[in-house]
Structures are given as C-alpha cells and as structure tokens.
Amino acid sequence: MHMKFPQWPWSTAADPLGAAWIWANLPSPRRKASLQRQSSHISEDEREQEKRREDRRRQSEQLESGEIAEAVAEILDRKRRVNVYLLVAGVISLLSSVLLWTVNPYDIIFRMKATLTENGETFGIWKKPPVDLYLKVFLFNITNKDAFLNGKEKLRVEEVGPYVYK
C-alpha cells in the first residue's frame, strides 16, 4: 500500500514533508547563544569563556581591519607595481628587438666605416697609415714549359723576387 503525504506550499516532490523548510526556519545557533546570555542560569566559568571568546573575536576583527588589511594592501600594491614594471620592460624589449631587426644597425655602421670619403674616419688611416706597410711579391718563371705540356716532365719553376713595395 502506498502512503500519500499531504502537500504543503513548502514541500517538494523529493521532500514531501517539507523538512528543508523546517530546517531552514530553525533558529540559528547565535540566537541560542544570545538567549543563553539573557538567562541567569549561566555559570561564572561559562560567562568568562564567553567574554574571552568575544574579546578574541573583537581583536581578530581589529587585526583584520587594521594591521593585516594594511599589510595585504601593501603586498598587493607591490605586486601590482612589479607587474607594471615587467609589462613595461617587456614592451620596451619587444619594440627594441623589432626596431633592431628591421633597421639592422650593423650593416649601416659597416657601410659608414668602410666607405672612403675625404672627411671620413678611414680616409686619414688610408692616406697616412700609423705603421709602415710593405708588400712583398714573389714571382715564379716556368723553366720546362714544352716538356711539361707534353707530359714528359714535372713542372719546374724558378723563383724571381721578392719585389717589395712600400
């Protein structure tokens, strides 16, 4: 036999007696504590414990709203500042790398230094070098051209020189 429960406005199909509504409307534990404080049946120890609890709660609220909140705000502010600095450094390095990649300053400086112009840096060094430069040239004469070309002998050469240019 199937039993049918009455339907109240606070009941559901899963909870036909409305236990959820009953539990939701029970007085909270804080209400009980306030009722106990008003009654005169509380012992001195319980009152002392309650007073200590209230003092600790008040002190923790003061810490949370005071020193701890300031420390947390300072840490968050410092982290925010570090993040901004890192972002700015990243953007600057990205822009500078793109600029260096597109402009290629090494080639520009090399062309500027290597080009001989009358007022350029390299022109004075080229015109009057700081050290004496000598060019030694060695020439060789082939002595057995016909025999070498016919394949009869190995190539023989005679050294002529050195010719030295300053």
User: Along the 166 residues of the chain, how does pLDDT read in single tens digits?
Assistant: 455 555 555 556 666 555 655 656 666 655 454 555 555 567 888 888 888 999 888 877 776 667 777 787 888 899 999 999 999 999 999 999 999 999 888 888 888 888 888 887 788 888 888 888 888 999 999 999 999 999 999 999 999 988 998 8
Burial letters 87-126, b for 16+ CB under 10 A, else e? eeeeeeeeeeeeeeeeeeeeeeeeeeeeeeeeeeeeeeee
Q: What is the pTM of this model?
A: 0.35
Alpha-carbon gap, residue 77 to 158, rounded angstroms? 86
Q: Return the ∠ at Cα 128 (arms to 122 and 133), rounded to 5°.
A: 100
Residue 64 is predicted with a pLDDT of: 66
Other Cβ atoms within 10 Å of 33 Cβ, number:
11
Alpha-carbon gap, residue 119 to 126, rounded angstroms? 12
Alpha-carbon gap, residue 166 to 134, rounded angstroms? 5
Residue 11 is predicted with a pLDDT of: 58
DSSP designation for 8: -
Residue 69 is predicted with a pLDDT of: 74
Residue 122 is predicted with a pLDDT of: 81
Residue 141 is predicted with a pLDDT of: 92
Terminal-to-terminal C-alpha distance of the chain: 128
Residue 150 is predicted with a pLDDT of: 92
The domain segmentation of the chain, as residue ranges, is 42-127, 132-165
Q: What is the pLDDT of residues 57-92, one digit of tens each?
A: 887 777 666 777 778 788 889 999 999 999 999 999
